[in-house]
Amino acid sequence: MSLTRAQAQHIAELAKLKLTDEELTRLTAQLAAILDYAARLQELDTRAIPPTASVLPLKNVLREDVVTPSMPRADVLANAPDKDARAEFFRVRAILKE
């Protein structure tokens, strides 16, 4: 399918692209090649192929939920910039006014 320079310019404007003359020339050739390839694909007989949402088989990728022990509290709080006196909790600045 041939694509005119004016059509390519219109497409660029619709896409809000500001192109130089060199870029417009390259875009025109690239879009024409894409449209030619799409036209070739339209010639294929796909009546025997059922509509497909995905070509990949569906597979659940979630792991089994297994209970495991947590890190010791002392290790978790070891690098905390501020913690309470008993080293049991992270201390953060208040974000809500009382």
CATH number where 26 lies: 1.10.20
- Is position 54 within any domain? no
Q: Is residue 96 part of a domain?
A: no
How do residues 21-62 score in pLDDT, each as one tens digit? Answer: 999 999 999 999 999 999 999 999 989 988 888 888 878 778
- 23 lies in a domain? yes
Split into its structural domains, the chain has a count of 1
How does residue 87 score in pLDDT terms, banded at 50, 70 and 90?
A: low
Alpha carbon distance 90, 98 (integer Å): 20
Q: What is the pLDDT of residue 11?
A: 94
Q: What percent of the chain clears pLDDT 90, i.e. is strictly above it?
A: 48
Owning domain of residue 32: 5-42
Q: Higher-confidence residue: 77 or 6? A: 6
31 in a structural domain: yes
Question: Looking at this protein, which amino acid is placed at residue 97?
Answer: K
52 Cα distance to chain centroid? 22
Q: Does 90 reside within a domain?
A: no
